A and B are shown apart, each in its own frame.
Chain A
Amino acid sequence: MHKVTNHNWQIGREMKYPYEGHRPKKQFSAVFDTNKCIACQTCTLSCKTTWTSGRGQEYMFWNNVETKPYGGYPLAWDMRVLEMIGGGSWKGRTYTGKTIFEKAIEERKDVEGFLPDLEDWAAPNIGEDEVTGEKMPQGMHIKGFPHPMWFFYLPRICNHCTYPACVASCPRQAIYKRPEDGIVLIDQSRCNGYKHCVAGCPYKKPMFNSTTTRSEKCVGCYPKVEQGIQTQCVEQCIGKIRIQGWVSTPDKAEEDNPMDYLVHIRKVALPLYPQFGTEPHVYYIPPIHVPTQYLKQMFGPEVEDAVRIYRDKITSDPVMQGLLILFGSSPEIMTKFEVKKGTAYGYNMKGKLVAEVPIREPNVIREAYDRKLDVYRMDIT
């Protein structure tokens, strides 16, 4: 229960954590654009067929897409944790409330958390597409942002946090964060099935396998990532809402790194519930149609600026437009990008060009009569 002081840039201050933080050489991270997610669940199924199709894993969704505000897998995971840490407020960019580790000190625990009941895992799609907001009278139309009636989709994976609550919870040190890429893994040979990690993780991503009697979690598709290829859920996303790469700390942000550009430079991609204190590394472009009052609790105080940039400023920002176009344009992890003359270029870890995408698709007009083939086209408009 001895706690070490570490710096968490997402909450803008020092905080206590059971171990001394060591930042990895490269930190696994991803950006999800919630404005584009349609909850087709392709990501969910790509992860499931790859990793969780075995015995005991039937209920597991290492990647899941839930509807906000009424959904959650497991049931009400975020609301229960927020209730436990007692809300909390921000003063500028500094979180003045308690993180799950600080609340735990009060309660003489390692991590403040709860173990979900069996039934909480039984309804991954609860609350899907359920709206909230004002009544919309007949004939009314939505004029602008935010929408009076709204919901949005929140796709989630393990955040491979800098200060993982799962690592802090395990009394046997059976969970570790890899120093080469920051991916957090549960050592199956050392796990004894105590489920402290399941209870400790505020995002509820470690899951207990009752057939093997060990806990498991998203592995960051490390076999792919080690080869410089993006994870299954990122690569398979049909809507191209996701990009995965390596994020730097704010002081070392590089303008041509896709992650750094969105997270640190433009600050349009924000961490999920930073107030938990784990420093998660899956960043979200917030939904611009949702009232920011709701979003502040989920993404922190900078959400208003992020929404404004994405909603209003993007039309005059070709670099950001280009970067957003690079989402889903290559299976390889892009560590460098540039936008020149209306085209976005993505380079892989070896510096090779792997994606070249025009921001504006070229307009091609096909004649009704094809002179070369001497035939009339029936399939043109």
Chain B
Amino acid sequence: MKKRILLLMICIFLTIIAGTVSASDNRGIRVLYVEQALDLNVAADVWNEAEPFTIELVALESLDHMGATHSTDTLPREFIRSIPEATDFVLNLSKAAPSVSVKAIHNGSKVAMQFTWEDSTEDKENSLDTYRDALAVLFPINISTGYNPSPLMGAKGEPVNVWQWRAEWQAELDGRRDLEARQPLTEGVWISPVDRILKNQHPGMSSGLINTSERIEYIAEGYSTLTKQVQQDVDAKGRYADGKYTVVFLRDIERTDLSDAEFKAGAQTYINVAVWNGHEGNVDGMKSLTFSWTPIVFDPAPALVKR
């Protein structure tokens, strides 16, 4: 409990400092105004115009992790037993954590954010004993110049909006799922012709039961409260190439429901980023993230008219 209060106080202190950053200060992410239509293309030329901002992440060790069969660098058990009982998680500063390069652009009506980070393996199967790679970003629900909610999943009465992209449902959308990784002894397993018939009857429909478009946007008010939103307003696309992931999120600047983060051209809000490395057994609270908000400042739009 004490540790959490201390952490919260540090965060509040940092956000007060951060609140004084202005648009031209390079301690924050600049959302560049561009005059073109935006889409989910991770490699579009328009991204070359934006300046990248690097966020260094820290590895979070969730002490409760029981499935880390493939994890490296986990804390030794003797050390874990010596940690005070009330602690939920531990920052492991000696564990390698990725840094995320962020670019953001908007055209007055839509905003697109691109995140790039290094991961030596592409882990796109969330199966019986494997975990997958993912990225999540967090925003306070409302733009405020006073206190912000905790950047660690918010707090009761201080909600945050979470967007999460996952490698396994990107693989589902792209038709790249790996049956053998998902079921034991499935090499050469016979798949009924019904499967092909149904796929022909419903082209483009995901073969799994994952409703792939509905799992990006969440709201949270503290640990264990993460709830996916009924109305999903964000789209995402990710790609793995040359040892790096690149993910783009796309949303209207003006929010359509009050569970979504408030963005405004010319205004500043804050963002926090978390990355999961499936190969390391990252899942749930076991991830890499930053403990303080990063300012994100929208360029003013020349004419405040929705296109």
* B223 A211 Cβ-Cβ under 8 A: no
* B185 A171 Cβ-Cβ under 8 A: no
* B223 A115 Cβ-Cβ under 8 A: no
With contacts A58-B183, A171-B223, A196-B66 known, is A118 near B210, CB below 8 A? Answer: no
- Rounded to whole angstroms, the CA-CA distance of A211 and B64 in the bound complex is 25
> Nearest CB to that of B64 among chain A residues?
A109
Cβ-based interface call for B87 (8 A) = yes
Cβ-based interface call for B73 (8 A) = no
* A122 B184 Cβ-Cβ under 8 A: yes
Interface residues in A92-147 (C-beta closer than 8 Å to B): 105-111, 113-122
Q: Which of A58, A105, A117 contacts B85 (CB 8 A)?
A: A105
Residues of chain A within 8 A of B69, CB atoms compared? 115, 117
Residues of chain B within 8 A of A108, CB atoms compared? 63-64, 80-81, 83, 85, 87
Cβ-based interface call for A297 (8 A) = no
> Nearest CB to that of A173 among chain B residues?
B224
Comparing B39-47, B126-134, B245-253, the segment that makes contact with chain A is B126-134
SS of B interface (majority)? loop
> Nearest CB to that of B284 among chain A residues?
A194
With contacts A108-B85, A172-B224 known, is A115 near B129, CB below 8 A? Answer: yes
Interface residues in B226-245 (C-beta closer than 8 Å to A): 226-227
* B67 A118 Cβ-Cβ under 8 A: no
Cβ-based interface call for A210 (8 A) = yes
Q: Which of A59, A106, A113, A195 contacts B283 (CB 8 A)?
A: A195
Q: Which of A118, A172, A199 contacts B127 (CB 8 A)?
A: A118
Residues of chain B within 8 A of A331, CB atoms compared? none
Interface residues in B105-138 (C-beta closer than 8 Å to A): 125-130
Cβ-based interface call for A208 (8 A) = yes
Interface residues in A37-59 (C-beta closer than 8 Å to B): 54-56, 58-59
With contacts A106-B81, A194-B284 known, is A119 near B224, CB below 8 A? Answer: no
* B128 A208 Cβ-Cβ under 8 A: yes
Residues of chain A within 8 A of B181, CB atoms compared? 118, 210
- Rounded to whole angstroms, the CA-CA distance of A110 and B66 in the bound complex is 10
- Rounded to whole angstroms, the CA-CA distance of A2 and B210 in the bound complex is 34
> Nearest CB to that of B281 among chain A residues?
A115
* A210 B182 Cβ-Cβ under 8 A: yes
Residues of chain B within 8 A of A195, CB atoms compared? 67, 128, 283
Cβ-based interface call for A330 (8 A) = no
* A109 B83 Cβ-Cβ under 8 A: no
With contacts A1-B86, A195-B67, A200-B66 known, is A118 near B129, CB below 8 A? Answer: yes
Cβ-based interface call for B2 (8 A) = no
Cβ-based interface call for B77 (8 A) = yes
For the complex with contacts A108-B64, A196-B64, 10 further pairs of A-B residues with Cβ separation under 8 Å are: A58-B183, A108-B80, A116-B129, A118-B130, A118-B184, A121-B128, A190-B227, A195-B67, A213-B168, A213-B210
Q: What residues make up the interface of A, taking CB atoms closer than 8 Å to B? A: 1-2, 54-56, 58-59, 105-111, 113-122, 171-173, 190, 192-196, 198-200, 208, 210-213
Q: 10 interchain pairs (CB within 8 A)?
A: A55-B207, A59-B184, A108-B83, A115-B67, A121-B128, A122-B184, A199-B67, A210-B126, A210-B128, A213-B208
